[in-house]
Each structure stands twice: as structure tokens, then as C-alpha cells.
């Protein structure tokens, strides 16, 4: 892992999208019914074809990134880690365009495509995270799980600073708007702690999360931990 500057991570487009997970994003419980599954299958192929996943990361001493650690929850997550790894992942603008195309005259297809895109973003983040874990293992180091702005009391207002540190516009074509939204929409930023001993980090819990009122996990009766 590099200390000096952000670096891109080579990613592969997944061969398929996790349809049961996408169904959960749509609110299905106990597995998708045949009609929902058929809708997801119909929308998955064009969505997957439109995806161009890209990722970038930066490793640095935690203290060098101290301006980012706004709120007690992210500090607690990184408590046992002398270093931090910033990560940004995007599916690219083609996915946003495909969500719009799918919704022309078909609200159900738009919702399904959006759910598929959210699922695919998580799959790509998992892939990027595993590549970072492999790099960490080469140095006998350990990473926590991902922690994103908006979790707990870590504000989304740190997004522009994260994007600047990672140079996301140049590296992966990811921009942050004046209202702290990411473009392309199906993009994720996160931090992981890096330590010389096994660490897991600590989630903030639903009661303190800034997203608790609109969280899709809570609507389904589960949490992001599960």
C-alpha cells in the first residue's frame, strides 16, 4: 500500500448481481416472489452491461487525516488503528443513465434497476475491500470494516475533503456536489482502520445514525450489520 498518494484498484465487473439482495432492497422478505424475481432478471443484464466499476484508495497515518474525524463514532471505529485507508468506489455514469432509461414509462423497472445498482455497488465495494485486505496481509496488517460518511454522527459534509484527498475526479470520475451528493450516484466513500493486530471497528448503532429515518435496512426490519 502506498503512503504517498492515492492509487487506483483494478476491479472486475461481477459476472452477476445478487438478485436476492436486490429483492431485499425492494422490500421483499423471505426471498423474492416469482414476479419480482422475473423483473429483477429482466433488468439485471442491461444494468450490469452499463457498469464500469472503478476504485481508488489512500493509506495515511490517522493523525494526518484528523480533519476528517468529525464526530465520536468514526473516532471510535478507528480507535485501535494508527493508520487509516480511505476508499472511493463508483459504478460509473452509465449506471445512472440505465436507471433513467429503465424508468421511462415503467416505474417498477426503475425501482428494480435502482435496487440492482445498489446491490452491485456493494458487491464492487466488497471486491475492492478484499483487494485491500490482501495488500494488508502482505504486511501482516489488519483492516477494520468499512465506515462511510452518514453512518452514526460522521457527517456527509466530509465528502468533498475525501474526494479531494483521493483525487476522485481525475482518478475515477467521481464528483461531489455543493450539497454533498456524489456523482455518479451509485458511488461509495468509506474509511477503514489499519492495525498491526486484528481489529473490527465499531458501528455507531441505529439510535445514533444520521440515516436512521430513511434507512432501507431499518424499513426491512434488519440493520446494516446483518
For residue 14, count other CB atoms closer than 10 A to its CB.
16
pLDDT tens readout for residues 34-44: 999 999 999 99
pLDDT digits (tens, 9 = 90+) for 46-89: 999 999 999 999 999 999 999 999 999 999 999 999 999 999 99
Rounded to whole angstroms, the Cα distance separating 87 from 177 reads 18
What is the model's pLDDT at position 32? 83
pLDDT of residue 226: 45
Supply the pTM of this predicted model. 0.88
**Residue 207 pLDDT:** 44
Inter-residue contact 61 to 82 (CB < 8 Å): yes
Yes or no: say if 53 and 94 are a contact pair by the CB < 8 Å rule: no
The pLDDT tens digits for 78-134 are 999 999 999 999 999 999 999 999 999 999 999 999 999 999 999 999 999 999 999
pLDDT tens per residue, range 137-174? 999 999 999 999 999 999 999 999 999 999 999 999 99
- 91, 186 Cβ separation under 8 angstroms: yes
SS3 48: helix
Confidence class for position 206, pLDDT limits 50, 70, 90: low
**Domain boundaries of the chain, sorted by first residue:** 7-215
Q: Which of 116, 111, 110 shows the shortest CA–CA distance to 91?
A: 116
Beta strands in 54-156 (DSSP E): 54-61, 83-90, 142-143
**According to the CATH classification, is domain 7-215 in 3.40.109.40?**
yes
Q: In 10 A of CB 37, how many CB atoms?
A: 16
Amino acid at each position: 500500500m502506498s503512503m504517498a498518494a492515492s492509487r487506483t484498484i483494478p476491479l472486475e465487473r461481477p459476472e452477476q448481481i445478487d438478485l436476492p439482495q436486490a429483492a431485499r432492497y425492494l422490500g421483499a422478505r423471505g426471498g423474492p416472489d416469482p414476479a419480482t424475481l422475473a423483473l429483477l432478471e429482466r433488468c439485471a443484464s442491461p444494468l450490469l452491461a452499463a457498469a464500469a466499476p472503478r476504485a481508488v484508495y489512500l493509506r495515511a497515518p490517522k493523525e494526518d487525516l484528523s480533519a476528517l474525524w468529525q464526530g465520536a463514532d468514526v473516532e471510535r471505529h478507528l480507535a485501535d488503528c494508527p493508520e487509516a485507508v480511505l476508499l472511493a468506489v463508483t459504478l460509473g455514469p452509465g449506471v445512472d443513465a440505465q436507471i433513467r432509461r429503465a424508468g421511462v414509462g415503467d416505474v417498477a423497472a426503475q425501482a428494480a434497476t435502482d435496487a440492482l445498482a445498489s446491490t452491485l455497488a456493494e458487491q464492487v465495494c466488497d471486491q475492492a475491500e478484499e483487494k485491500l485486505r490482501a495488500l494488508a496481509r502482505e504486511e501482516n496488517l489488519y483492516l477494520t470494516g468499512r465506515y462511510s460518511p452518514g453512518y452514526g454522527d460522521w457527517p456527509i459534509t466530509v465528502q468533498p475533503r475525501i474526494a479531494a484527498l483521493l483525487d476522485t475526479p481525475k482518478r475515477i470520475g467521481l464528483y461531489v456536489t455543493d450539497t454533498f451528493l456524489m456523482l455518479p450516484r451509485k458511488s461509495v466513500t468509506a474509511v477503514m482502520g489499519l492495525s498491526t493486530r486484528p481489529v473490527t471497528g465499531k458501528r455507531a448503532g441505529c439510535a445514533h445514525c444520521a440515516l436512521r429515518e430513511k434507512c432501507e435496512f431499518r424499513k426491512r426490519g434488519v440493520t446494516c450489520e446483518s
